[in-house]
């Protein structure tokens, strides 16, 4: 939602991704430096710089392709196709982390996608004129899924604060280069535009991605990525509350299916 508003303010897609991380970066480093115990622990162990750089690389591709996809396809298409990151993570979680993926989990994943498609309703349509934007959405799914897998690996040795601070530091130059190379608008005289970017940085990146990084240290990668399919439901709810976009019966049905699938996947395992 913030990204769409920033596009309306005249910022280019790659520029939006750059400012999202750039404005959040000082807060990330403040949080990291405010935890001296964890900083000392990190200093005693060798920092996985290569993996941190890889996380920044994947996240930079994710943000640039995501914001470009919004420009070339519908928000519904971009949102739903980008959420295929959950499938990408699930397919690799067993191989990389030895996670056992039960058949029932794939059922829940499939139901969540069906519910998301119903929730999007007529807004989601495959159109030959939007194939480029839809392709960027799928690139977003692969790059974001790869980012999440990298974060899961990093959480074996790094705190979420360290991951967010260092990966952001590596991602910012890449996104700045992409924005400058494409000749995008990097500034505006409208205060509202900067406030939208600041909200995107603090809500979506600093808080949202920070909590996701925290979750990867406590939950399986496949389950964490599946729970991110709550995003379309939350976006629809925000549109109802903030933009007065009433939800019809079809949207409510789709939201119910998504929530039911997530409940099914997160239910506690029965004791033997």
Note whether residue 272 is domain-resident: no
Note whether residue 135 is domain-resident: yes
In whole angstroms, give the CA distance from residue 179 to residue 183: 6
24, 205 contact by CB (below 8 A): yes
Note whether residue 229 is domain-resident: yes
E-strand spans in the chain? none
Task: pLDDT tens for the chain, 272 residues: list them.
Answer: 555 555 555 677 788 888 999 999 999 999 998 876 554 555 556 778 999 999 999 999 998 898 788 778 877 777 788 888 988 999 899 888 888 888 888 899 999 888 888 877 655 566 677 788 889 989 999 999 999 999 999 998 899 999 999 999 999 999 999 888 888 777 777 778 788 888 889 988 899 899 999 999 888 999 988 888 887 787 777 667 765 666 677 778 888 898 898 888 887 755 43
Note whether residue 39 is domain-resident: no
Tally of CB atoms within 10 A around 272: 3
**Using CB atoms within 10 A of its CB, is residue 138 exposed (0-12), middle (13-18) or buried (19+)?**
middle
Note whether residue 40 is domain-resident: no
Counting the structural domains of the chain, the total is 1
Host domain of residue 137: 2-34+48-266
Tally of CB atoms within 10 A around 169: 16
Q: Looking at residue 121, what is its pLDDT? A: 67
Note whether residue 144 is domain-resident: yes
Tally of CB atoms within 10 A around 158: 26
Note whether residue 41 is domain-resident: no
147, 17 contact by CB (below 8 A): no
Q: For residue 35, what are the contacts with CB-CB under 8 A and spacing of at least 6?
A: 159, 161
Note whether residue 24 is domain-resident: yes
In whole angstroms, give the CA distance from residue 197 to residue 6: 7
């Amino acid at each position: 939602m913030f990204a769409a508003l920033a596009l309306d303010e005249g910022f280019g897609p790659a520029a939006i991704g750059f400012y999202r991380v750039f404005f959040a970066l000082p807060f990330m480093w403040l949080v990291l430096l405010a935890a001296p115990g964890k900083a000392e622990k990190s200093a005693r162990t060798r920092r996985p710089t290569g993996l941190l750089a890889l996380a920044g690389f994947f996240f930079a591709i994710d943000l640039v392709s995501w914001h470009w996809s919004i420009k070339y396809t519908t928000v519904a298409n971009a949102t739903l196709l980008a959420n295929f990151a959950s499938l990408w993570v699930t397919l690799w979680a067993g191989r990389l982390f030895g996670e056992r993926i039960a058949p029932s989990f794939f059922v829940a994943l499939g139901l969540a996608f069906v519910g998301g498609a119903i929730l999007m309703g007529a807004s989601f349509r495959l159109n030959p004129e939007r194939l480029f934007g839809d392709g960027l959405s799928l690139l977003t799914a692969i790059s974001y899924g790869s980012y999440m897998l990298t974060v899961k690996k990093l959480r074996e040795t790094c705190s979420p604060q360290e991951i967010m601070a260092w990966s952001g530091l590596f991602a910012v130059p890449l996104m700045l280069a992409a924005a400058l190379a494409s000749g995008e608008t990097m500034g505006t005289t409208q205060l509202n535009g900067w406030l939208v970017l600041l909200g995107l940085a603090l809500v979506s990146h600093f808080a949202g991605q920070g909590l996701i990084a925290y979750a990867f240290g406590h939950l399986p990668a496949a389950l964490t990525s599946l729970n991110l399919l709550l995003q379309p439901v939350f976006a629809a709810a925000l549109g109802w509350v903030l933009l007065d976009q009433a939800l019809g019966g079809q949207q409510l049905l789709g939201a119910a299916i998504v929530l039911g699938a997530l409940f099914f996947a997160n239910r506690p395992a029965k004791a033997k």
